Amino acid sequence: MAARDTQAVDRSRSGRDRILDAAYGLFSRAGVRAIGVDTITAEADVAKMTLYRNFASKNDLALAFLALREERWTRGWVQAEVRRRAATPAGQLLAIFDIFSEWFPREDFEGCAFITSLLEFDDRADPVRGACVTHLENIRAFLCELATAAGVEDPERFAAQWHILMNGSIVAAHEGDADAAMKAREMGLLLLAREGAALSG
């Protein structure tokens, strides 16, 4: 989710923090390439020189944004919330779609920043694209951990399938499907049943 809605800038924070916080909200909503440096510095209320003193380029700022996105969205929200909501690995996998069902209708729903940024950078050698791939791999690693704990026979393949359900539901939500998360959850139940994974206990 976005770090915050646009609001008065807290000038007690460092210029770097204000720039990164501004970039987080802007990049999350609109992508990296659609947002110029002037927009970021205006949102952060800093001089352009301050941005380049802290980040060598906009792409370096994008890399810092993606790392922060993983910290806030992947670990701080998805992983933490599903572990809070369910006791079993299978239940935690399903809880992903429960929290998505609450996230999708929000006015600040912005989708998956890793996928958005990945699609913006065609060059496979680009560091921003590489970072997106790594952050997506980290999500699958978490899913693989849960699948392994649930007793899935091929946890890596299962994690890839589950990730496809997650990504597909996000895209469907962008299309306007208000029930996308629950549809994905229903498909997830079929995958878990195929594996004989226990939902409780």
pLDDT in the model for residue 47? 95
Q: What is the reported pTM?
A: 0.89
Residue 52 placed within a domain: no
Domain-located, residue 8? no
pLDDT of residue 9: 52
Residue 5 maps to a domain: no
Whether residue 200 lies inside any domain: the answer is: no
> What is the average pLDDT across 63-92?
97
Residue 114 in any domain: the answer is yes
Instruction: Specify the pLDDT at position 200.
Output: 62
Among 5, 38, 40, 4, CA closest to 19: 40
Residue 107 lies in a domain: yes
- CATH code of the domain covering residue 123: 1.10.357.10
Chain segment 169-182, per-residue pLDDT in tens: 999 999 999 999 99
d(CA 156, CA 150): 12
Distance CA 155, CA 152 (A): 5
Express each pLDDT in 3-34 by its tens digit: 344 444 555 578 999 999 999 999 999 999 99
At residue 3, the pLDDT reads 39
CA-nearest of 201, 185, 187 to 151 is 201
Q: Could you tell me the sign of the dihedral formed by the alpha carbons of 75, 117, 20, 53, in that order? A: positive
Integer Cα distance of 55 and 108 in angstroms: 27
Structure tokens at 60: 């370096």
What percentage of the chain reaches a pLDDT higher than 90? 89
* Dihedral angle, C-alpha 1, 26, 172, 183, nearest 10 °: 0
201 falls within a domain: no
Calpha distance 21→28 (Å, rounded): 11
pLDDT for the residue 4: 40
- How much of the chain, in percent, has pLDDT values that exceed 70? 92
User: Which pLDDT belongs to residue 13?
Assistant: 79
Residue 178: phi, psi to the nearest 5?
A: -70, -20
The answer to whether position 71 is within a domain reads yes
Tell me the residue range of the domain where 181 lies: 59-195
pLDDT at res. 11: 59
Q: What is the pLDDT of residues 96-143, one digit of tens each?
A: 999 999 999 999 999 999 999 999 999 999 999 999 999 999 999 999
Domain count across the chain: 1
Residue 35 has pLDDT above 70, yes or no: yes
Nearest to 44 by CA among 26, 65, 69, 29: 26
